[in-house]
Amino acid sequence: MTVDFALRLASAAGRVLTPDGGTVLIGKDTRLSGYMFESALEAGFVAAGVNVMLIGPLPTPGIAYMTRRFECAFGVVISASHNPYDDNGIKFFDGSGGKLSDAVEARIEAELAKPVLTCASGRLGKAVRVDRSRTDYQAFCAATLPQGRGLAGMKIVIDCANGAAYKVAPRVLADLGAEIVPIGCSPNGRNINDGCGSLHPELLQLTVPGVRAQVGLALDGDGDRLVMVDHLGRTVDGDQILYIIARARHEAGMLAGPVVGTVMSNLGLEIALGELGIPFQRAPVGDRYVLSMLRASGGVLGGETSGHILCLDKTTTGDGLVSALQVLAVMRQSGRSLAELAAPMRKFPQVLLNVKVARGFDPTDVPAVRAAIEQIERRLGKEGRVVLRASGTEPLIRVMVEGRDESETRAAATALAEVVRAAVL
C-alpha cells in the first residue's frame, strides 16, 4: 500500500460516501506507517470536501463506536490487525458502525482510477483532532458490564500486543477496580504483534501464574480479537469464550436466536451448546459472514476460534475488550474461575494442514479427493468432521480434520492432504 493509493482511496470514498459533503472519523493502530497514511487520507478527504476528525490510536471497534457517537457519515481505520508492523490496510465503517456492503465497496473501487478530486477553496473540508474523546469509548466499554458490578479484587494481566488498545484497555480495567499487570503496552511503531498479543500468548501464559493473577487477556494489534489465559497459564480460545458467554446468556434467559460459529469452529463447541439446548450454525470463515448469518437468523452471539467475538446485544462489531468484560462479568457473578467455566466444553483434536497450489481450483471436484473425504467421514461418524477450503489470502488449500482421537485425526488429515497434493500435480 502506498501514499498515492491512500490519497486516491480517500478521494474515491469521499465521492461515493459523501458526495454532498459530510464528516469522516479516522483512527489507526500503532504502526509507524500509520502517521503517513493518516496524512494521506486526511489530504484526500479534505480535498474532496469531506470534514475529518482524527482520533489517533484506538481499537478498530472503538472507531466503529465513535463513528456512531459523532454521527459521522463513515469511519476509517488504518490497520493490518494481527499482521506484522510492515503490513498495513484500510478498513471502512458506515455511519451505523457496520461494514460497508459489497456493492458500496465495488462503487469505491470503480472510482479509484479517476484523478484525485480537489474542490474549490470554499468547499474544502476541515480537519480537527479529537484524541481526548477516546474516553467516550472507554465509558462505553465499561457500561457493557452489568450495572453495579465492578472488578474490584481481581488481578488481571492485560497484553495489548503493543497495539491500538494499549491506552484504553488498561484504563478501562483499572477504572473498574481491577489490579492491572500490563504487558505489550509499550508500542514503538515496529513491535505491534511482535511476540505478544492474541497470536503469541506465551508470555501471558507465563506471567499470569507467575504474578498469581486470576486471569489474563490478550488482544491483537487492532483490538478486535481476544484470547484468554486461566490462572494455571492455559489458553482459552474464541470457541471456549463463545461457549462461556452463550451459556451465561442462556441461563439468564437473555440469549436470542442461534449461536453462530464458522466451518472451522471446534466440534466440541457445537456438542457442548447442543447439550444445553442452544442451536448452533456455521458460517464461512470471516467475521462478515458470521455477522450476516446472525442478522439473518436473529441471533446476537457469534464468533471465530481466533477470538473475534460478536456480541450484537452490546456492540455492532467484534470487540476484544467488550468480549473480555462479558467473561469477567460471568466470573464475578458465578464466583467460578475461568478454568471452571471453560471446562464443560471439551475441545476435539483438530489438525490443519496446508497444501500449496499454483492455481485456484476446488479440490472437491476431484473424484479421488471426494472418495477420500467420504471414507474419512464414514470412519469418524458423528464424532468428527472434514473441511477443505481455499485460503482467501494465499495459494493454499487448507485441509482440516477433527475427531476424538488425536492420532487417528492426524493420520486422516495427513492422508487426505497427500490426496489433495496429488490432485494438484
Positions annotated as catalytic residues are 81
Burial of 360 by CB count in 10 Å (0-12 exposed, 13-18 middle, 19+ buried)? exposed
- For residue 30, how many other CB atoms are within 10 A of its CB? 27
**CA dist list (Å): 239 to 38, 256, 267, 315, 330:** 35, 18, 10, 19, 16
Strands 155-159 and 215-219: parallel
Q: What share of the chain is helix, strand, coil (3-state, %, to 5)?
A: 40, 20, 40
75, 60, 84, 73: which is closest to 17 by C-alpha? 73
Is 252 in contact with 301 (CB distance < 8 Å)? Answer: no
Handedness of CA 67, 143, 135, 30 (dihedral sign): negative
- For residue 322, how many other CB atoms are within 10 A of its CB? 28
292, 268, 227: which is closest to 280 by C-alpha? 268
